[in-house]
Amino acid sequence: MAHLSQSPSRPTIAAEPEPGSLLSTTLAQLESTFDRLELAEGMRLLIQQPERELSDIAVYKGYRVQHSSARGPCKGGIRYHPGVDFGEVRALATLMSIKCAVVDLPFGGAKGGISVNPADLTPRELERLTRRFAAMILPILGGKRDIPAPDVNTNEQVMAWFMDTISAREGQYTPEITTGKPIALGGSLGRAEATGRGVVIAAVETLHKLGMTPQGAAVAVQGYGNVGRHAANILREEYGCKIVAVSDVSDALYNPHGLDLALVNDHVARNTSGLLAGFGPDGPADHITNAELLALGVDVLIPAAIEGQITGENADSVKARVIVEGANGPTTLEADAILNERGVVVVPDILANAGGVIVSYLEWVQNLQFYFWDIGEVRSQLSRRMRASFEELWTLSGELDLDLRSASYLLAVDRIAKAIQQRGLFLASGG
């Protein structure tokens, strides 16, 4: 059973978000930004509330939320996780709108997911679930309406199933309906590394602004998945950083002299679980906890796991000079205030991990024109956009004496509000 809710007036969310949740934190940050911009109440509601929400309740609960299409088609990932619910999806859709506006992409934000543990499913069951979900949310999807991408526990194969299902329903090949696809089906070179490479650019630019050199800088990475792994390896190989610690859900490794990432990568590739668990004889490393990793005295800390990792309880123990958020919402509102007070530079997720959506945009453009670029062109475009956005935010934060997160929200909300104002309000019913 699918349920679609949509209203031009976009009434307020009926249920209050759970205190401390990602949605609560996002809405609080928005309220602060609204006050700085002195937005009228009507505009606040238009930006605060999603435009459209769809839920599909069969064996599993599935959701798709479109936050804003004021600046262009909605864009956002699909995640498969037992913790997926409407509150989380609403928050992530809102953050996607902010993120796209921060890096000035012609997209609005969306997010979707299914409350399921994909590890409990066979490949055939996963494919059937994906195709069913794609068919149910098809009415609100489209290459110029809403374009899904991979997220937590989804990958290029899931996007291939999505694209194929929609193409079959539409009766024509529509590669632009998803991004993060296999290269053979219209995916872009550089998409797999994009989010991690964007994190690297944000980290390196921050170090330069602080008068520090990346060469030899000590870095700890929480979350050695796609984002964290690429970020760690690019920092090590291309900038000479010293990766002293990495972690995932199974283990955390530490070597103050720098981990041998070649050995770590080889272990993860050979491990049937794809995790760090069992690393030991392969190379010298101490086994620490995730809590200990977050408290290491490093130059750069990259939380690239899940949301809510740096909180009011542990923010005082963080010793890193710079935090670059690879994950969505890894720092709570309370922790953010503590870190700002202590002078820790936090590069927020809505800028730091925007590399993924930037290259998704590049993939979408390539699909629309059926003309594909080499890896050098993709990396060049990503680097140019990330560095320009970073410079703009660094300058704005200095001019207004704001932290980077507050400056990011201010810039993004202003862009979204101006787009809404300039487009005006049109009621399809003619009212």
In 3D space, the residue among 359, 414, 417 whose CA is nearest the CA of residue 386 turns out to be 359
Question: Token pair of 11, please?
Answer: 């009434």
Q: Is the pLDDT of residue 257 over 90?
A: yes
Could you tell me which residues are beta bridge partners of residue 3? 55
**Better-scored residue on pLDDT, 174 or 40:** 174
Tell whether the torsion through CA atoms of 173, 179, 185 and 188 is positive or negative.
Answer: positive
Burial class of residue 14, CB neighbours in 10 A (0-12, 13-18, 19+) = exposed
* Banded pLDDT at 10 (limits 50, 70, 90): very low
Contact residues for 394 (Cβ-Cβ < 8 A; gap 6+): 205, 209, 404
Q: Is the pLDDT of residue 85 over 70?
A: yes
Residue 298 and residue 319 in contact, taking contact as beta carbons nearer than 8 Å? yes
User: How many Å apart are CA 407 and CA 431, to the nearest integer?
Assistant: 38
In 3D space, the residue among 187, 128, 121 whose CA is nearest the CA of residue 155 turns out to be 187
* Spacing of C-alpha 199 from chain mean position: 11
Q: pTM for the full model?
A: 0.88
Active-site annotation holds for 111: yes
Which of 14-23, 36-45, 56-65 is modeled with the greatest confidence?
A: 36-45
Q: What is the pLDDT of residues 372-408, one digit of tens each?
A: 999 999 999 999 999 999 999 999 999 999 999 999 9
The residue from 75, 99, 111, 242 that is catalytic is 111
Rounded to a whole number of angstroms, the CA Rg of the chain reads: 21
Query: What is each CA distance from 205 to 94, 192, 202, 389, in whole angstroms?
Result: 26, 22, 5, 11
* Banded pLDDT at 129 (limits 50, 70, 90): very high
Residue 420 and residue 97 in contact, taking contact as beta carbons nearer than 8 Å? no
Helix, strand, or coil here: 346?
strand
User: How many Å apart are CA 299 and CA 322, to the nearest integer?
Assistant: 6
pLDDT number for residue 183? 95
- Per the rule left: phi > 0, alpha: psi between -120 and 50, beta: everything else, 398 is alpha
- Of all helices (H) and strands (E), which one includes residue 28? helix 22-37
* Banded pLDDT at 188 (limits 50, 70, 90): very high
